[in-house]
Structure formats: C-alpha cells, structure tokens
Amino acid sequence: MVPSRLVVLISGSGSNLQAIIDACNSGEINANIAAVISNKADAYGLERAKQAGIATAVLSHKDFDSREAYDAQLMNVIDTFAPNLVVLAGFMRILTPSLVQKFKGKMLNIHPSLLPKYQGLNTHQRAIDAKDDVHGVSVHFVTEELDGGPVILQAKVPVLADDTADTLAKRVHAQEHIIYPLVVKWFSEQRLTMEADYAVLDEKQLPAHGAHYPE
C-alpha cells in the first residue's frame, strides 16, 4: 500500500506530533508527514518537525483580517503538500465551515475529554470541578460542530483525589500519545472512514463514543 501523506497542524508543544513522528519513523504507521503547519511561530512543535527533517510552514492568524481569509490561505498551504489526511494536534483555532467541508472525512482531531463531555477549553479543570472519577481523551473526525464530529477512539484515566488540572493533564497526555498514532495508523491502512454521523472501522459502525483503548 502506498504510504499516506499527512499534514499536521499545531499551535504549541507538539507532543502528539512527536508521537506520530515516532510511529511513522518506526514503521508502525505507514505514512509520511509531508509538512507541519503552525499558526504560531514560536510553537515548539516546529522544532520537533525540523529535527525530524519535516517541512514546516507558519501562517499567523494575526496577518489576516478575518477567519475566512485565514482559512482560505491555510487551505492553499495545505494543498501544496497534497495530503490525504490532515491531523489537528493541538491546533488552537476554530475552523470555518469551508475548511471543514474541504477535508470532510480526512481530518482528525484529538480532544482531552471523554466526548461528548466537555467540548471546548479547560477540560481537566472542568472534570475536577464536576467531581468526575473518570476522565480521558477522544480522537474524532472533524465536522462543523466544535469537538462534535464522530468519535473514533477514547481512552480513560482515573481522576485522583489530589489531582490538579496539571497532574490530570499529564495522565491524559500519556494516553493521547498512544491513541492518536493508533488512529492515524488505522486511517493510513484504509480501515477507517467517516459516514454522516459515525465512524466506521473495519466495516463496522463504531458506537457514539467510539472504540475504547485498550479494548
């Protein structure tokens, strides 16, 4: 099978990017990362990409008058790398409908909560404030609803009595670095597709909360 071509979008540290780079380099994922694009010039993930010999591009939202204008240019930049999968890995931007439509079924996101719980920001603190005893992370297809597309895979972590948002985030991150490469691997093996409002893995419809890692 021809390796997938990925474009990864980031805004920050890029630890999920690193996990995907490592899985591509080890052969675990049959894919090449064609480029890493950031909306922030100082994102550490850009360093990780450079160290891995991956092309980088910075497109600052501050240089554009509107979200539409930014996303139109972002689409152009993504297109120059001709990816078959766009991976959002901590890309802290709300996307316009035209960008989402263009990559329908070909764009993934990772969100640090057990969706549909806690769409949006500050998920770890919200789980603590709600006194949840279980929290986690979801990988999902991107649709026009923020953090609302079909869920593919979730991993759970316990919330401990003395957790802060930071300690809980670290526990969640460890799971992120396992499940995101796994989902990218499935997609790259052409085992994963998006239907109207659910994901399909190995020709089976996944439940609303996706598959669970570990099974």
Which residue's beta carbon is nearest to the bound ligand GRF? 90
Q: How far apart are the first and last CA of the chain?
A: 26
Residue 107 marked as a ligand binder? no
Rounded to the nearest whole angstrom, what is the least distance from the CB of residue 177 to ligand GRF in the complex?
8
Site residues for ligand GRF per CB under 6 A: 10, 12-17, 45, 89-90, 110-112, 176
Give the active site residue among 111, 124, 135, 140. 111
Rounded to the nearest whole angstrom, what is the least distance from the CB of residue 2 to ligand GRF in the complex?
27
Residue 30 marked as a ligand binder? no
Residue 93 marked as a ligand binder? yes
Rounded to the nearest whole angstrom, what is the least distance from the CB of residue 93 to ligand GRF in the complex?
11
Q: Give the 3-state secondary structure percentages of the chain, helix then strand then coil, rounded to 5.
A: 35, 25, 40
Distance CA 126, CA 132 (A): 9
Nearer to ligand GRF, 14 or 83 (CB): 14
Catalytic annotation present for 111:
yes
Nearer to ligand GRF, 17 or 85 (CB): 17
Distance CA 61, CA 66 (A): 8
DSSP-derived secondary structure for 48-105: HHHHTT-EEEE--GGG-SSHHHHHHHHHHHHHHT--SEEEESS---PPPHHHHHHTTT
Nearer to ligand GRF, 90 or 150 (CB): 90
Residue 126 marked as a ligand binder? no
The tokens 């120059």 sit on which residue? 80
Rounded to the nearest whole angstrom, what is the least distance from the CB of residue 15 to ligand GRF in the complex?
3
- Positions annotated as catalytic residues are 111
Annotated binding-site ranges for (6R)-10-formyltetrahydrofolate:
67, 92-95, 109
